[in-house]
A and B are shown apart, each in its own frame.
Chain A
Amino acid sequence: DTAVSQTPKYLVTQMGNDKSIKCEQNLGHDTMYWYKQDSKKFLKIMFSYNNKELIINETVPNRFSPKSPDKAHLNLHINSLELGDSAVYFCASSHSGDSNYGYTFGSGTRLTVV
C-alpha cells in the first residue's frame, strides 16, 4: 500500500513536447511538494501546496505548472520540454503544522529529454 505514489516512473520524450507527472498520497497529509534532483544528486524544492493552495514557488521557469485538485494529489505539467529539464522529479508530502515532521517521498520520476 504505497504512501506516496508517482506516475510514470520513467519518461523519455523529445524536446518541445508537453508532459505531465502525477502524484498521489494516502497518508492524510495536507501539504505536498515537488523536488528536482539533478545529475549531481542535488535536491531542490520547486513547489509546495497546502490544502490545494500554492505556498512555495521557487525560481522555476513558468513552463512548469503544478496543479492540486485536492490535498491528496499534486500533478506537475511541463510545457516545451528542454534538454536541461532532464532530471529525477520527486513528489513528497507532510503535515504542515509541525515542523519537526519529516517528509515522505515518492520513488521518483526519471525524465529524459532527447
Chain B
Amino acid sequence: SQQGEEDPQALSIQEGENATMNCSYKTSINNLQWYRQNSGRGLVHLILIRSNEREKHSGRLRVTLDTSKKSSSLLITASRAADTASYFCATANFNTGGFKTIFGAGTRLFVKA
C-alpha cells in the first residue's frame, strides 16, 4: 500500500529553473528518504532526513520535513537535462527486525534543454 501522495504527478521545466516536489504521508516515521529512478531502472538514494530534522541540503538538493503536517518537499535548484527522472519519497518506520519502507506515488520530472 502507498504511504501517501506526491505532487505534482508530473513536472516539466526548462534547464536552469528550480523544481519542487511535495510528498505527504500518513503514519509516524523514523526517517524520510528521496530516491531517483531513471526509465524503469534501479532507484538511486538521494537524501535522508530524520524525523527530528527539519531541513537538509546536499549539493543542489534541499529537503524539508514537517512532521506536524506529515509532509516533505524536495527542491532541485538550477536543474539540468540529466535531472529528468522519476522522484519518489519513501518513509521508513522501524518494525521489529527491520525498516518497513513505503514509497509515495512519485513525481515525473522533465527538464528541457
Q: Do A and B come from one complex?
A: no
